[in-house]
Structure 1
Amino acid sequence: MNAITETSFGYDDGDIDTNRSANPHLNDLIASRYSRRQTLFGGVSAMATAVFGGAMLSACGSSEPDEAPNVAVSAGANGTATSGMTVTLTGSVTGNSLSSGWTQVSGTPVTLTTVSPTVSTFVAPSVTTATPLVFRFTGTSISNNPTTADTTVTINPAVLGFTAVAKNRDDIVTVPAGYTATVLYRLGDPIANGVAAYKNDGTDTEFSKRAGDHHDGMTYFGLAATGTAPDPTSNTRGLLVMNHENITSSYLHAAGQTSVGGVRPEAEALKEIECHGVSVVEVNRAAGGAWSYLQSGALNRRITPLTPMTFSGPAKGDTQLKTLYSTDGTAGRGTINNCANGTMPWNTYLTAEENWAGYFRRTAGDAAVRIAAGAAKENTSLARYGISEGRGGNNNWATVVAADTTSTLYTRWNITARAGTAADGTADFRHEAFQYGWIVEIDPFNATSVPRKRTALGRMNHEGCVIGRTVPGVSPAFYMGDDAQNEYLYKFVSTAKWAAADATNADRLAMGDKYLDAGILYVAKLNADGSGTWLPLVFGQNGLTAASTVYPFADQADVLINTRLAADVLGATKMDRPEWTAVNPATGEMYLTLTNNSSRTVANTDAANPRAYTDPKTTGGGNSGNPNGHIIRLRETGDTSEALTFKWDIYAFGAGSDLDAANINLSGLDATNDFSSPDGLWFGLPSNTTGQATPVMWIQTDDGAYTDVTNCMMLAAIPGVVDDGAVKTITNTLGAATGTQATRVGKAPGTALRRFLVGPKECEITGVFTTPDGKSVFINVQHPGENGNAANITSSWPASQSGTPATPSRPRSATVVITKNDGGVIGL
């Protein structure tokens, strides 16, 4: 038997190593944690800094539930910001970390944009009171243990965040420090392939494919990636849709307008006509931040006085709209003298026909022909709208002898009735003037769509059409001024109740049919006690009948075609040239610019138009009446667009800061915010902080009274509310006349009103809109150098924007885009 040698086996109690992985031992973890404490004393260090301008705030601390209780936790300083400011949160990690980043812990939710693992930014939200926001910076160690630090940023209500631009008479667009103004879209710029660059020497043609003149009211519509559909969130690609109100003919032609024997050349007239109307042009912002327009944009379009239009609403087909061109009164040609505008929530553009009456010729004897035709009341209507016998018509287009002998493009501007022709107007153009004075709706996303003239909104010198706040189930209201001395303020309340889904309906003009073709048009009566009433312009009510001694109304179409006469009958309040309207998106209050009124006297002042005085202009003589204008506002009862009553006060009175504070400079304006002749008016969009809790209002001027001191301007304001001021009695003195007038003066604007921009020489600043994020603002400069001509150029803008040109350059109306150098929200 073989011997067996045994090896001794002892009990191992599991004390053997069978795990060959690289995972750490417990002892290694303890050692690592101990070493980290010794190094950092409080875990992975996290310092959170919030940067507001040049101020830096910090916080630091630790929170690791699995650590020993003796871990040190500390917090540094917290910070403050105001709504609209870009806030930068910067954290730091000492030691080795797997990851780091910022999150929001509490407060009004914001969107954090990650710049790097340690840096995030956000735009301070809109608030009405001080609101704390807490943010947490987290650093995660290589052993997967988080350490955090919190910082609190208290957000205060928005304030204007720029230094006021000084008044000046320079030949550039002057903006605040920290901002950049860039010329974007100028008179004559080509907007179609194959159109040559603008020579600007008076020889250019093809204006149906170029930017028109006198840029005015304007909207930016975000454009989707498809290039054909709306995208309300797009800040880098969009359509600019703008009005071209008029022309500066002295620069448009080689040597100004010409005629032979009183007859205008067709080529000149065609150029002038095509320079009026509307532009639709695609604009884009490059990755580096520069804006440009796209000459080949698929939706680029010019709408001119030659573009076919259709009528809609109650006056469609009325006898007063019948002409040789449209014998059934349902169609027309073109739109003209387009001033302010409107932007509809269903992504259409409203353009307003303002001083259209001046373009028509009416020769002696016309009134007698109309009487003989049984239309004597047309003479009353034409006179009320300023078309008297003996008018030659702006630019004398009616004198053109067209090469095409069958053309009526020029004879249409002569509204003289021809004796012996059809009394209903179907054989001549006696009714052509009735085809103008309307609000016109355009679908910018359909280049083949036919614009519609919305007759339910009345006929007047329309100065824009702004929709109020939309509330589901409530009829929306649309506010309009009639821009002439002693005219009225109107609103139209739709029959249709607002449905939010309509904002995205692809049949955009059908949405216009729904909301703009049926409803009630009202005119405003403002009482001395600060109350007011909307008076309905409805046939058969309040004297609007065939028995009226002012004008015998036949039906509702007649009331709307002759809106001014209907408002006269109702006793509406005569205003100091009602211009642009704007609605505060937070409060629903409606603001109206009353630009000036040279016919205002001491005897005919009232509470809503209380001043009559002489502005002591140092050059060119004084200006009398209400030369500096004011801005009135109203709040409707119950804050609803359907209300028929309201209260009102005057937000601000235009005046030089050196004028009598007791009776003229009633708003206490100083060198940073004094202005004259307010015109353009617009509130920031609700999609960014300039249109939320405390919205920013933009005010633009078209001035002749203060131009001895400064060029026209744009101001930014954060207004208060109706009745935040007091009743005041002033003493008016105009020549030998003197008298007192009580009025309602809003709280002095103070630093919440500030001059943001001054334009070049002899211009008007008009048209304003921003991208949805409020970080790019578009404005228009109209008719720079308007007092000069080709032989005496009085402004070289926009060529002068980059420096004085070596030789004078013919000025051009143009669109300017303004951005903030730090990429922030404009104005805050």
Structure 2
Amino acid sequence: MTQRKSFEADLETADDDAIARSMAPTLGELWSRRAILKGLGGVGLVATTSTGFLALAACDRAAAVPGFNFKEIARGVDERHHVAEGYDADILIRWGDPVLADAPAFDPQHQTADAQRKQFGYNNDYVGFVPLPYGSGASDRGLLCVNHEYTNALLMFPGLADVKAASAEQVDIAIAAHGCSIVEIARGTDGKWAPVAAGVYNRRITPLDTEIRISGPAAGHARLKTSADPEGIRVLGTLNNCAGGITPWGSYLTSEENVNLYFAGKLEGHPEAGNYKRMGIPGDKMGWARFHKRFDINEEPNEANRFGWVVEIDPLDPAAAPRKRSALGRFKHEGCENATTKDGRLAIYMGDDQRFEYLYKFVTSAKVDPQNRAANRDLLDEGTLYVARFEEDGSGTWRPLVYGANGLNAGNGFSSQADVLIEARRAADILGATPLDRPEDVQPNPRTGKVYVSLTNNSKRTADEIDTVNPRADNLWGQIVEITPKGGDHGAESFSWTLLVTCGDPAKPEEKAKWNAATSTDGWFACPDNLAVDGKGRLWVATDQGVEWSQTSGAADGIFALETDGAGRGTSRRFFRVPVGAEMCGPCFTPDSKTLFVAVQHPGADGTKDFQGFNRASTFDDPATRWPDFTPGMPPRPSVVAIREKNGGPIGG
């Protein structure tokens, strides 16, 4: 990986560098249609043809979506969070707060792994909400399902100057702070949300001690067997959990993303050398292998194959073992939202969050049974994984990753469907998938049938590599793609697409941003990441600019309301702003759309050298902000925030 100025910067940009593809098709092969169009009339004809097609696609609306009605906040960056006028933004739960009944109070100066096992983890990312009682659609009580993506050790521990100098106990604390939290929450008569003390569903899932079952086509495969698990069906924990989703039967899907960061060792002579290189393994940014040899690829050659999956958790059964659903493929998963096909099956959309990686979809073989929750228990173990290819004329196809077809055979090193899934990236290379500008969250809109894809950025794309879905070189700002499945069916193998917005500053022609003219100087944004759709079918966008926020927009990340329909299409408004150094994650609405949960991740971490008045690296002892407590000696704490309209109305008006 590229040398960075600090561990925090290196960690935050772990997905910057493209992974070399020994079997990747050339751009000429990927875009043969583009070459034909150029020959007919040059680049101008390409733009005209594409724009005309996309305009027609954009007009094909299944249902009108209303606009927003709130006064947007000003762009900026400071130590605190900010929300639109007329709304309350209350801290719901913070790193270190109790989850289990016997959890001790958080003591940042005297942390232990045993305490962290029982407390809310670090760097809350995806947030899901399951109403209680199950099936009720309630909006005043439910289970909050939260991912804990990774840890910023220099902000967690006093006096620590080098992550790889962390003690064995500090490493175990960091491991215990990963994984997932399931917390029962309720809204009081005053409208405020709070965790339910000793809630019967409350649970922590960690890579330190939670056993997870492996299921689906790769379960028991030789490439997943280790000395601790000779059967290849049980793995300890889940890592780097980024985005996720809630299924129609109330299970919680959590996506493993940058798993390469945890593995140390050397690839020379390694039996998985090609496979691991394609995943960026070893990445070793955490130093865990010093104390846990399973993270050394030379000590345990197959352990890294056991990460990079989608994990299904039943939040309504704390005794049930989570399952890594191997049928959904292994890559750097971002996004796991779903929609039902016209014939009743489940389609799950997923991005692979790295520059020049791909967009995927999984469709189950069997139908969802809405009347029998238990019947859906293993639904995700059988189905077809697809990868997307975008064409220059605004059309696209989903190409199946199926063993024995389209070059996914012994001649290319695949001996079974398990091999195809373990090396899903390489299989997608062979199928000629379209390399994208960091595909992150993917959000179906149940009101319109459209699907929205965040392409966060790609500063490594050159002028020779641009195309209509990735239209800019040196792309620091990203874009949002709108997909229309053929016939409105999420099971269809073809689609049309258009760009909803091309992000960046519309006042700077060199950035080539494209917004509705109604978007104000406060409303535009850069680096779209997590997405959510409210009960009215309106799109909300969370941003992640990372350490480069001062270059991409000069303002903090936040939540933006983005219109997708009518005359206002492409108009954005700034609704919420995070404190300095934080990333905005996890927008999630209650069923009545009157509460919006958001996750503020790693406050005080990113780009603090560019924060005027601070201008230095942020640490536990000298943080750029002490959000949300602002108490002397208390470090910044990743937290989930509950946003409510002061009069109890729907979010966004």
- The TM tier, using the shorter chain, reads 0.7 to 0.9
Contact conserved, 1:488 with 1:523, CA < 8 A, in 2?
yes
Q: Which residue of 1 aligns with 2:648?
A: 823
Equivalent runs, 1:776-795 vs 2, <5 Å: 776-786=595-605, 787-795=617-625
CA drift at 1:199? 2.6
**Deviation of the 1:203 alpha carbon:** 3.5
What is the alpha-carbon root mean square deviation over aligned residues? 2.0
1:436 maps to amino acid? F
In the TM superposition, residue 466 of structure 1 has moved relative to its aligned partner by 1.2
For the residues of structure 2 that align with 1:456 and 1:773, how far apart are their CA atoms? 33
Matching residue of 2:339: 468
Shift of residue 175 of structure 1?
0.8
Query: Mapping of 1:4-153 within 5 angstroms?
Result: none
**Contact 1:441/1:512 (CA < 8 Å) preserved in 2?**
no
**What's the offset of the Cα at 1:464?**
2.1
Q: CA deviation at 1:659?
A: 1.5
Counterpart in 2 of 1:699?
541
**Closer/same/farther in 2, CA of residues 604 and 330 from structure 1, 3 Å limit:** same
Q: Does 1:764 align with 2:583?
A: yes
CA distance in 2, matches of 1:202, 1:250: 15
The DSSP-based 3-state class of the residue aligned with 2:592 is coil
- C-alpha deviations, 1:755-786, integer Å up to 9, x for none? 11111111001001121111111100000001
Amino acid at match of 1:513: D
- Per-residue deviation at 1:706? 3.9
Contact 2:403 2:416 in 1 (8 A): yes
Q: 2:268 aligns with which of 348, 361, 367?
A: 367
Give deviations 1:204-247, integer Å, cap 9, x for gaps. 551110010000001111122xxxxx244222211101000011
State the AA in 1 paired with 2:193: W
**SS in structure 1 opposite 2:286?**
helix
Output one character per residue of 1:358-415: Cα deviation in whole Å (capped at 9) or x when no partner: 100113xx532x4xxxx4xx21111111115xx5x22211112xxxxxxxxx111111
Structure 1 residue 264, shift from structure 2 partner? 4.8
Deviation by residue 1:723-777 (Cα, 9 ceiling, x = unmatched): x8xxxxxxxxxxxxxxxxxxxxxx8735x42111111111001001121111111
Give 2:157's aligned residue. 253
Contact conserved, 1:577 with 1:597, CA < 8 A, in 2? yes
Does structure 2 retain, via aligned residues, the 8 Å contact 1:633–1:648?
A: yes
Tell me the equivalent position of 1:717: 562
- Taking a change above 3 Å as real, the CA distance of residues 433 and 189 of structure 1, as seen in their structure-2 partners, is same
Q: Residue in 2 aligned with 1:544?
A: 408
TM-score by length of 1: 0.67
Q: Is the 8 A contact 2:158 2:621 kept in 1?
A: no
Please, which runs of 5 or more residues in structure 2 have no aligned partner? 1-61, 606-616
Q: Distance in 1 between matches of 2:103 and 2:538?
A: 40
Structure ranking higher in strand proportion: 1
Confirm whether residue 601 of structure 1 aligns to residue 462 of structure 2. Answer: yes
Q: Give yes or no for contact 1:659–1:665 (8 Å, CA) kept in 2.
A: no
Matches within 5 A, 1:570-581: 570-581=431-442
SS in structure 1 of the partner of residue 465 of structure 2? coil
Q: Alignment partner for residue 349 of structure 2, among 447, 464, 479?
A: 479
Aligned length: 575
Relative to 1, partners in 2 of residues 1:583 and 1:285: Cα closer, same or farther, differing over 3 Å?
A: same
Choose which of 187, 201, 214 in structure 2 pairs with 1:311: 214
SS in 2 for 1:476: strand
CA distance in 2, matches of 1:399, 1:523: 37
Instruction: Find the aligned partners of 1:491 and 1:763 in 2 and give their Cα distance.
Output: 30
Q: Matched residue of 1:412: which SS? A: helix
In 2, Cα distance between the equivalents of 1:211 and 1:334? 16
Flag the 1:264–1:167 CA change in 2: closer, same or farther, 3 A.
closer
Distance in 2 between residues matched to 1:200 and 1:470, nearest whole Å? 48
Report if aligned partners of 1:218, 1:240 keep a CA contact under 8 Å in 2. Answer: yes
Partner residue, 2:196: 294
Aligned to 1:414: 296
When residues 264 and 198 of structure 1 are mapped into structure 2, their CA distance, relative to the original with a 3 A threshold, is closer
Question: Percent same amino acid at aligned positions?
Answer: 37
In the TM superposition, what whole-angstrom CA distance separates every residue of 1:86-131 from its partner, at most 9, and x where no partner exists? Answer: xxxxxxxxxxxxxxxxxxxxxxxxxxxxxxxxxxxxxxxxx967xx
Whether contact under 8 Å (1:244, 1:339) holds in the other structure is: yes
Question: How many angstroms apart in 1 are the aligned matches of 2:212 and 2:370?
Answer: 28
Give the whole-Å Cα distance in 1 for the aligned partners of 2:591 and 2:367: 26
- Confirm whether residue 211 of structure 1 aligns to residue 41 of structure 2: no
- Secondary structure at 1:671 match in 2: coil
Q: Could you tell me which residue of structure 2 aligns to residue 530 of structure 1?
A: 394
Aligned with 1:799: secondary structure?
A: coil
- What is the rounded CA distance, in whole Å, between the counterparts of 2:124 and 2:459 in structure 1? 26
Give structure 1 stretches of 5+ with no counterpart.
1-126, 130-156, 225-229, 401-409, 418-428, 613-624, 685-689, 725-746
TM-score scaled by structure 2? 0.85
Whether the 8 Å CA contact 2:369–2:376 is kept in 1: the answer is no
- Flag the 1:605–1:584 CA change in 2: closer, same or farther, 3 A: same
Partner of 1:335: 238
- Aligned-partner Cα distance in 2 for 1:326–1:279: 25
Structure 1 counterpart of 2:15: none
After TM superposition, give the deviation of residue 718 of structure 1 in Å: 3.0
Local SS of the residue matching 2:70 = coil
> What is the CA deviation profile of residues 129-188 of structure 1, one whole-angstrom value per residue up to 9, with x for unaligned ones?
7xxxxxxxxxxxxxxxxxxxxxxxxxxx63211011110112222111110000010000
Once the two structures are superposed, residues 444-470 of structure 1 have per-residue CA deviations (whole angstroms, 9 ceiling, x without a partner) of 011111000001000000002111235
> Secondary structure, in 3 states, of the residue corresponding to 1:765?
strand
Shift of 1:265: 2.4
Deviations 1:502-524 (A, max 9, x none): 4xx2x3xx51412x111111100
Per-residue deviation, 1:326: 1.0
Q: State the alpha-carbon separation in 2 of the partners of residues 161 and 670 from structure 1.
A: 15
Aligned partner (choices 622, 631, 636) of residue 480 of structure 2:
631
On the 8 A contact 2:90/2:642 being kept in 1, the answer is: yes
- CA drift at 1:291: 1.1
Distance 1:566 1:334 in 2: 26
1:324-473 correspondence to structure 2 within 5 Å: 324-363=227-266, 366-368=267-269, 370=270, 375=271, 378-388=272-282, 393-400=284-291, 410-416=292-298, 429-471=300-342, 473=343
Deviations 1:1-46 (CA, angstroms, capped at 9, x unpaired) = xxxxxxxxxxxxxxxxxxxxxxxxxxxxxxxxxxxxxxxxxxxxxx
Instruction: Supply the distance in 2 between the matched residues of 1:520 and 1:202 (Cα, whole angstroms).
Output: 48
Q: C-alpha separation between the residues in 2 aligned to 1:412 and 1:263?
A: 19
Rounded Cα–Cα distance in structure 2 between residues aligned with 1:308 and 1:703: 34
Matched, 1:276 2:126: no
Q: Kindly indicate whether the alpha-carbon contact (under 8 Å) linking 2:67 and 2:568 is maintained by their aligned counterparts in 1.
A: no
CA gap 1:449/1:499 in 2 versus in 1, 3 angstroms: closer
Residues 463 and 822 (structure 1 numbering): CA distance in 2 closer, same or farther, change over 3 Å?
same
Q: Secondary structure at the match of 2:509?
A: coil
2:256/2:334 contact within 8 Å kept = yes
* Aligned equivalent of 2:75, options 167, 173, 197: 167
In 1, distance between residues paired with 2:77 and 2:166? 36
2:59 counterpart residue number: none
Partners of 1:495 and 1:793 in 2: how far apart?
50
1:797-817, Cα deviation, whole Å (9 max, x unpaired):
1124xxxx5x47410000000
Contact 2:217–2:418, Cα closer than 8 Å, also in 1: yes
SS at match of 1:185: strand
Alpha-carbon separation, structure 1, partners of 2:378 and 2:102:
37
Distance in 1 separating the partners of 2:377 and 2:112: 37
* Residue of 510, 513, 516 corresponding to 1:664: 513
Q: CA distance change for structure 1 residues 214 and 367 in 2, over 3 Å: closer, same or farther?
A: same
Q: After superposition, what is the alpha-carbon deviation per residue over 1:693-718, rounded to whole angstroms, capped at 9, x for unaligned?
A: xx111100011444362110111123
